[in-house]
Amino acid sequence: MIGFTCIALANARPYISPEASELILKTGMENTSALLEELGVRNKAIYLPSSLREGRPQALIPLTGILDTGRIRAKIPGRLIVRYGDGPGDMALAVTTPGSISLEKLESKPGPNAADIEAAVTYVLTGLLDLANNVTVNMGDGEVKVEVSGPRLHYEDIWYYRCLGSPVASIVATIVCEALGKPVRIAEEDYNRGKSTVHLEVLP
């Protein structure tokens, strides 16, 4: 019985080797990082739910200043450089993050409560991607605190992570924004004693 189970699990592993996956991830990250560096963008990204984008949740990195979510028009077009408001400086980069892709793997959209979000994040990070051991979600007034135990991808002080957060935080932010149907921003991300804590700010 255990032998058959091992064979079944071995066949369930992805066709692409972890080395190839890492290579592809790093290539994508370096390209986005180079783009952000070239444009001199230092602002933190805002994760938008699919209802505000054309079908897929994406991150919006304002090109100038801090993005005011109140100025976001009904639906932002599916382009790389987008105008989100009516002002001349309301321009932003709309990028797809690891979270945007992983959300497609969810069978149903999580509900706007801590239990549903925790189940969805656990499913994606632990079951699907094997990027963490355990996830705990706590929701407060206008903020969501997510504790990820044993994350395999830590936060690094690089340009990409400063704008978009680590891949784990990005996945968490995308699931939370999609569940709540509201834009979110990664306010803080820290790593301590094998536990990564992601503080998300829920924007109006």
Partner 1 sequence: MRAFNRYILFLVLAAFAINTAIAFVAPNDLTVFFTANVLAFLVITVLHAYLNPRARQSLNAIGIVLFGGFLVIVILKAVDVLSKK
Binding residues (CB under 8 A) for partner 1: these are 1-2, 4-6, 8-9, 11-12, 105, 122-123, 126-128, 130, 133
Closest CB to partner 1 among 82 and 121? 121
Minimum CB separation from partner 1 for residue 135, in Å? 10
Closest CB to partner 1 among 61 and 172? 172
- Which residues fall within 8 angstroms of residue 111, CB to CB, at 6 or more apart? 117, 179
Question: Edge-to-edge, what's the strand order for the sheet holding 91-95?
Answer: 81-83, 91-95, 58-62, 46-48, 184-192, 195-202, 143-149, 134-139
Closest CB to partner 1 among 63 and 106? 106
Minimum CB separation from partner 1 for residue 3, in Å? 11
In sequence order, the β-bridge partners of residue 58 are 48
Structure tokens at 7: 């064979």
Minimum CB separation from partner 1 for residue 4, in Å? 6
Minimum CB separation from partner 1 for residue 60, in Å? 30
Minimum CB separation from partner 1 for residue 1, in Å? 6
CA distances from 9 to 1, 13, 117, 121 (A): 12, 7, 26, 22
Closest CB to partner 1 among 45 and 124? 124
Minimum CB separation from partner 1 for residue 5, in Å? 6
Distance CA 63, CA 82 (A): 10
Closest CB to partner 1 among 96 and 126? 126
CA distances from 87 to 11, 48, 62, 68, 204 (A): 53, 19, 13, 11, 19
Distance CA 47, CA 99 (A): 10
Instruction: Please report which helix (H) or strand (E) contains residue 174, including its range.
Output: helix 167-180
Question: How many residues does the structure list for the chain?
Answer: 204
Closest CB to partner 1 among 80 and 115? 115
